[in-house]
Structure 1
């Protein structure tokens, strides 16, 4: 099985991961972008991307074909699955999206199997999911034999929403194939689309494991900084001052405290911990880090509440899971809002990037439309450091927070500017 010049590729799932990948692949191959959400496909056909990962002019100029019709999937030589892998309300891995995508691809293989087609998974999973769960589903739906009629591959996604530097065409890609021949084809395909180089993992399980620990490691480091923020808060020491001082050492890792959500860091560690528990090992460090980070919304809510009067009017700035992106998935700001409400406060929320309908649907949060029409709050909580909030000056803060009010600056975005007279200032 040698690299083919005329690979035909289908990317399954056109979200934050799938769309940038599909657009980049389409510069070199014939690519079909498939998503079960017809409205998403229609939006992309208009040249609009709500995730803001692909610019409108780039999207409109792309040769990428788009479809929500599974009848267009048969006959492709490569299928790349980029669907979400969330957790449920008990933090148990929810593999339903990847199972469903596998069934869709399996049916496409049954209808018109290209010789030696490869099914590649980019979705973050624990080691073994691709071969032990997805492979059998593909066999069942297709009636074909995995490893003979079609082959498996894994190349973990490394998309960082909002990051315009570490884009899919610049990052190093980890690639693994079921056989040396299938791995070579994937090395050729991914090598065409990135200047960051290809790392060939020896097995699919190795590649799966590499991905899941990347975010678990980051989660643990942030949990450490969140814990020291709690400790230093009791001591009256600025965590940011401490981090600046410690950061002068050449090998100090520069993480900051805050709310840890999103589709990766707040989810992936649970995948590894789940598999560890199945094998009889309790993942103490991983789960301890998760417990700290999952509890930060309540911690901040209590810290703010302790500094204001009962029943205060509180303005929370930001709802997305990180700055300068519209991504609301697994936002821990929702936990903070819930904590403040449970403590008896009236909460208003503003976010310049979040979709109001999605905020209402996912979290029951009604977004305030205009920041310039808001003011006079007993507390202003900068939860997400969007550029619009970083640009607020002393006069703007004075308008938002009333005399005697609290300015709670979780990420320290206003540390370097004077705080309006008569206001309290608090940060992690």
Structure 2
């Protein structure tokens, strides 16, 4: 059963398997393991960007298509839902209409971009997509009466997805893992009190329902793309990545495959954008269409490992955790380095962007193939060293033919 679900594409590394299990358990049980709105928002963003990065990796990692218009489709999904709710009211029908309309617009635009690859390729295609993305950003910013301009739009979700909706009357038990770990580090001699302080009552509401909808969406997208890249269609994409001219010589219409990949990635990004609008409750050009967001998506793809769907899960999780909690970590470290002139300044919470860049450089240096790719390489080398060398007649070289 597991073989069919994962399309026989296993992590192929014990450390990677353990890391993925930790991420999956944390996402599935997140509301019961982490207390506070900040942790809830972080988990929701991880689910959203797993879909966004996996779709982008389908273009970059599997087909070698460099596009800077990915955030445009992400923004179309977010603004489509927000504008439909604004005009039709906060109902599920408005969400459906906004999502379908956004998917239709993304399909048309991505089809035009895909057909553009007939004449424009490589870096020139990337530059064209960059120009299109900037033009769309300018359009959204200037249409103030429709999109809210730079102020953005507030998303009013249905009652069933809001905090007022309570599917369970009684609170559910939860254990705050960060509080538990902090207590174990600071008070290991008082386990009873640490355990008591780490427990909290979860008031399960509509926001949690929306979160699990996002978890289901991310799981479905992940399994679908995993099946896709391990299908004959995915093999053709990898052949195009390695040598497009050879793939054409074998009879494959590479333009059709490239266009299909661009369309598919755009539709997944649009779906993720709709989920972002519903979980974030607010959309503006900065958090949906900004070029900085495109750079972040590219970094997540590189950190996790290009050409691996698992890399989208690992890269998105590590990047968003570092982005949200690195500053808090530096504040905690600063408590023990106070008074040391140079170290206190370098490890200040205000310099978190510096250390964020350092972590990215270190990840590229020690994991040149990404976290997923490098862990697989190390596991393959370890298995090759542990496997016994061949012996017997099969190991003896055949004599060279006499001339």
Q: Which one has a larger percent helix, Structure 1 or Structure 2? A: 2
Q: Which one has a larger percent strand, Structure 1 or Structure 2? A: 1
Give the TM bin, normalised by the shorter chain. under 0.3
Q: TM-score, normalised by structure 1?
A: 0.22
Q: TM-score, normalised by structure 2?
A: 0.23
